[in-house]
Amino acid sequence: MADRFGNHRVLVVAGSDSGGGAGIQADIKTVMALGGYATTAITALTAQNTVAVEDVHPVPPAFITSQMSAVMGDIGADCIKTGMLYDTASIAVVAEMMQPYAQKIPVVIDPVMVTQSGHRLLTEMASDRLREVMLPLATLVTPNLPEAEVLLGRPIDDDEQSMIEAAQELRELGSQAVLLKGGHGRGDQLVDVLVTASGVECWRGERLPTTSTHGTGCTLASAIATGIAQGMTLVESVDRARIYLRRAMEEAKGLGQGAGPVEHSF
Ligand code: PLP
């Protein structure tokens, strides 16, 4: 809810995207654009552009701990957001570091698994650990449909009723709220479903005709985390984040040969 000087601090625990469109780079740009202050604990470096992830270099788990500890020991955080966690070893240290702050600092978990270019950012072994140790720490978890299918271990239809049921089932895995995103659905009409302790909220919209979708998940989750850090309600945070992301997609400049990044400043 801000420090004594009014800073809205978001600690982002995620991977670096050398192409600048997703990961930590998208997170920092988003938090800045919405008026927050971003700190980071980098879990892995990716050699990546709009076409492919060419290489991944995981950060030693002890150094993830050092980064989180340096930030929390001095600057603190009003919200913690996690993205790419890569493997079971990093999940273990991130969960351990977050434990003392559970219930005190809100946590947004983007359960990043595979990029839109088809590269794994979470080892196959690690999705079980993500489900078991990370979700119970989450104020909000923000899966897309393929991630939700892995977490639930079953297929999910992209119609609204099926998504509401899936989001409710996901919430039983331990997070306080679930935002199940419909962007990976097949139709032109999309729905995002938020399930909290107090009920269900749906946002419906038309699919934007764009290939500039790289980093959209990171951007949305960081925008929500910034809203929470600024003291907005969950619904207000999701609402503003969706408006921000839509405009960021509309303003995209078509960088690179593949799925281009969204434009974070406008
Ligand atoms: N690269 C990194 C390091 C990320 O953390 C993420 C986040 O989801 C992505 C890539 C996602 O890329 P895309 O939006 O193309 O799926």
Domain membership of residue 260 (yes or no) is: no
Domain membership of residue 220 (yes or no) is: yes
User: Which of these is catalytic: 46, 50, 213, 226?
Assistant: 213
Query: How many domains, the chain?
Result: 1
pLDDT in tens for each of the 266 residues of the chain?
Answer: 788 888 999 999 999 999 999 999 999 999 999 999 999 999 999 999 999 999 999 999 999 999 999 999 999 999 999 999 999 999 999 999 999 998 899 999 999 999 988 899 999 899 999 999 999 999 999 999 999 999 999 999 999 999 999 999 999 999 999 999 999 988 889 999 999 999 999 999 999 989 899 999 999 999 999 999 999 999 999 999 999 999 999 999 999 999 999 999 99
Domain membership of residue 92 (yes or no) is: yes
Is 23 touching ligand 1 by the criterion CB < 6 Å?
A: yes
User: Which of these is catalytic: 29, 46, 142, 181?
Assistant: 181
Is 218 touching ligand 1 by the criterion CB < 6 Å?
A: yes
Distance from Cα 58 to the centre of ligand 1, integer Å = 15
From atom 16 of ligand 1, which residue's Cα is the shortest distance away? 115
pLDDT for res 103: 86
- Tell which residue, 123, 92, 94, 120, has the closest CA to residue 12: 94
- Tell which residue, 226, 77, 204, 234, has the closest CA to residue 140: 234
Residue 191 β-bridge partners: 204
| CATH code where residue 185 lies | 3.40.1190.20
Two structure tokens written together for 155: 């297929």
Cα 9 → chain centroid: 16
pLDDT for res 225: 98
Q: At what angle do helices 61-74 and 88-98 cross, to 10 degrees?
A: 20
Domain membership of residue 263 (yes or no) is: no
Distance from Cα 214 to the centre of ligand 1, integer Å = 7
User: Which of these is catalytic: 40, 139, 142, 216?
Assistant: 216
Q: Alpha-carbon distance 142 to 152, whole Å?
A: 14
Residue 32 belongs to domain spanning? 9-250
pLDDT for res 118: 87
User: Which of these is catalytic: 215, 226, 227, 260?
Assistant: 215
Would you call 181 a catalytic residue per the annotation? Answer: yes
Would you call 73 a catalytic residue per the annotation? Answer: no
From 24, 218, 245, 257, give the residue whose CB has the most ligand 1 atoms within 8 Å, as the site to mutate.
Answer: 218
Distance from Cα 121 to the centre of ligand 1, integer Å = 8
Domain membership of residue 2 (yes or no) is: no
Complex confidence, ipTM: 0.91
Domain membership of residue 168 (yes or no) is: yes
pLDDT for res 102: 84
Domain membership of residue 266 (yes or no) is: no
Q: pTM for the full model?
A: 0.97
Would you call 215 a catalytic residue per the annotation? Answer: yes
From 112, 116, 220, give the residue whose CB has the most ligand 1 atoms within 8 Å, as the site to mutate.
Answer: 112
Would you call 213 a catalytic residue per the annotation? Answer: yes
Domain membership of residue 256 (yes or no) is: no
